[in-house]
Amino acid sequence: MLDIKLIREHPEIIKKDLEKRCEPEKLEMLNQLIKIDKQWRQNLVEANELRHKRKLITTEVANLKKQGKDATKQIEEAKNIPQQIKRLESEVAEFREKADQLLMKLPNILHESVPFGKDEHDNVIERLVGKPPKFDFTPKSHVELASDLGMIDFERAAKVAGHGFYYLKGDLARLDYAVMTYTIDLLRSRGYTLVEPPLMMHRKPYLGVTDLEFFGDQLYKIENDDLYLIATSEHPMAASYMDEVILQKELPIKYVGVSPCFRKEVGAHGKYTKGLFRVHQFNKIEQFIFCHPDDSWKFHEELQKNSEDLYKGLGLHYRVVNVCTGDIGIIAAKKYDIEVWMADGTFREAGSNSNCTDYQARRLNIKYRKKAGQSPFGFVHTLNNTALATSRTLIAILEQYQQKDGSVVIPEVLSPLMGNLERLE
RNA sequence: GCGGGGUUCUCCUAGCCUGGUAGGGAGCAGGCCUGCUAAGUCUGUGGUCCGUAGGGCCACGCGGGUUCGAAUCCCGCACCCCGCGCCA
C-alpha cells in the first residue's frame, strides 16, 4: 500500500512511476483515488462537526441531570442528530471503502534500477552462472526420467486428487527432504531462524501480504471457515507481525520458512505445465526479512547471494534476471528471478527475490520504534526470497544430472544427507 | 464441540454490576531544578482530519444493535486462559 499522504501531496511522483508499468488503467485508478479521497475528507469533516454538536448536547444533558434539573428540551433537540450522523457516516464509510480498494490495487513505487519493459520478454539477464551439461545422448525430461525410475506417479495422484498432484516415491522423495535439509542448514549457518508457519490463514492478514488477484487465481479456500491454504510460507511469516511495533534493536529479523505451498494456478493455460513445474502443491524453503528501512537494499543483495550460493553448491546451471517494470507485480519495488536450465534448453523460473520496501508493511501495519516506550517511528521494510522450491529444484537436478542409462547422479552436497547415496537408479 | 474467565492508549492496571469528560502507575520524550548524575517536579505520549496558530473527530479485541449519550447494556465473530468432552 502506498502512503496516501504522498499521493495527496505529490501525485506527480506516483504518476511518473505508474507510467513505467504499461498499465494505463492504473493511472485512471490513481485519478479516481485522488477524487474519492477528497470527497471522503469533505464528508469526514461534516460528520465530525455533527458528532461534535452531539457531544456538546449530551454533555449538557449529563450536567443538567447531575444537578437534578430537567433535560427534556435538550433530549428532544438531540433526537434527530443520530440519524443524520448515521447517514453521513455510511457515506464516509462508502468513500473510505472505495478509496481503500483503489489504494490496495495501486502498486509499489519501483526502484530506479528496474528495467523498463512490457512483459517477461523484456526482463534483463544480469548474469549466467555455470554451464549446461553436455549430453552425448538425447536428454529426457524429468517426467520421463522419474517415471522410468519408478519414483514419481502422476496417474494415481490424478485419480486421487486430480491434475497437478503427484506421488514422490523412494529415493526421489528422500532427495526432496535432502534438498530441504541442505537449504535449511546453509541458511541457519547464516543467522536465519527456522520457522514452520501455520499452513492456513484468515482473509484479513492474507489481504495484507498479497494482492487481490491471488484470491481468485491461487488460493484454496477452506469451506465454511475463514481460512485459506497458504501459497508460500512468505505469507504467514510476513503476517506474523501484523499490527505490531517492533523494537529497532530487534531488527533485522531473519527467517527461513519451510512449508508446503498450495496454488490453484487458475489461468495457467498455455503456460509450461509439464510434470513438476506447475503443480498445486510443492515444498518450498523461503527466506524472509523484516528490517530497518535503511538496510533493505543491502539485504536484498544478501538474499540474492544466499540463493545463488545454494544453486552453485548444487552445481546447477542458472541465470539471474532483473524483472522489468511490466512483469514485476504490485508488491515489490525490485525483483530478481533465478531461472534454472532445463533439458529442453530453456531457462525457467525457480525462485524470486523481492524487496517490498514499506509497501507490504504498510498493508500489514508493521512499524518499528527506536527505543522501548517511545512512539512508533515508521514502517519496517520486508523482503522475501525463495531459497529453494524443491519441486523445481528436483526438475533441475534430474534433468541436469541425468546419465545415458537413465540414472541420475546425486549432487555431492546432497549425498551425505541421503546416506551417501550417489545415484538415483 | 460445551461451560466459565478474559482482551482498556507503548507496557501494566482501575472503571463494567448501577450508562454521563477513560483514572492511576511504569517506560519513553521534553521543560524546570541541579556544578554533573540521580532524585524531585511539570508537560507530553496512538490513529486521523481541517489548519498559519490552533482545534476537531476516532480509538477500551472486531462488527452490529439499544439510547439524547455505550469501555459499561444486548446480539454476532475472532483470539487468549481454565475446566469438560472428542481425538493423532
The cell for A36 is 474519492
**Strand B contact with A212 (CB < 7 A):** no
**Strand B contact with A200 (CB < 7 A):** no
The whole-number pLDDT of residue A215 equals 67
- Per CATH, domain A4-105 is 3.40.50.10190: no
Distance CA A367, CA A304 (A): 25
ipTM of the complex, rounded to two decimals: 0.84
Looking at strand B, which nucleotides approach a protein CB closer than 7 A?
Answer: 10, 20-21, 26-29, 45-50, 56-58, 64, 67-69, 78
pLDDT digits (tens, 9 = 90+) for A287-305: 999 999 999 999 999 999 9
Q: What are phi and psi of A410, to 5 degrees?
A: -85, 130
Distance CA A146, CA A405 (A): 13
Low-confidence ranges of chain A (pLDDT < 50): none
A:156-185 Cβ neighbours of strand B under 7 Å: none
- Per CATH, domain A120-424 is 3.30.930.10: yes
Amino acid at A156: R
List chain A domain ranges.
4-105, 120-424
Q: Which nucleotide's C1' sits nearest to the alpha carbon of A41?
A: B49
The whole-number pLDDT of residue A377 equals 85
The whole-number pLDDT of residue A144 equals 92
Q: Do residues A106 and A330 touch, judged by C-beta distance below 8 A?
A: yes
The spacing between the Cα labelled CA in A256 and the C1' in B88, in angstroms, equals 27
Q: Which nucleotide's C1' sits nearest to the alpha carbon of A226?
A: B78
The spacing between the Cα labelled CA in A244 and the C1' in B37, in angstroms, equals 35
Q: Do residues A413 and A138 touch, judged by C-beta distance below 8 A?
A: no
Q: Map grid coordinates 490463514 to a residue.
A: A201
The spacing between the Cα labelled CA in A232 and the C1' in B64, in angstroms, equals 35
The spacing between the Cα labelled CA in A246 and the C1' in B10, in angstroms, equals 11
Q: Map grid coordinates 477452506 to a residue.
A: A222
A:309-348 Cβ neighbours of strand B under 7 Å: none
Q: Which nucleotide's C1' sits nearest to the alpha carbon of A63?
A: B20
- Residue of A288, A218, A215, A228 lying closest to A258 (CA atoms): A288
Q: Where are the alpha helices (DSSP H) in A109-212?
A: 142-148, 154-161, 170-189, 203-209
Which DSSP letter does residue A417 get? G
Q: Which nucleotide's C1' sits nearest to the alpha carbon of A37?
A: B49
CATH topology match: A4-105 vs A120-424: no
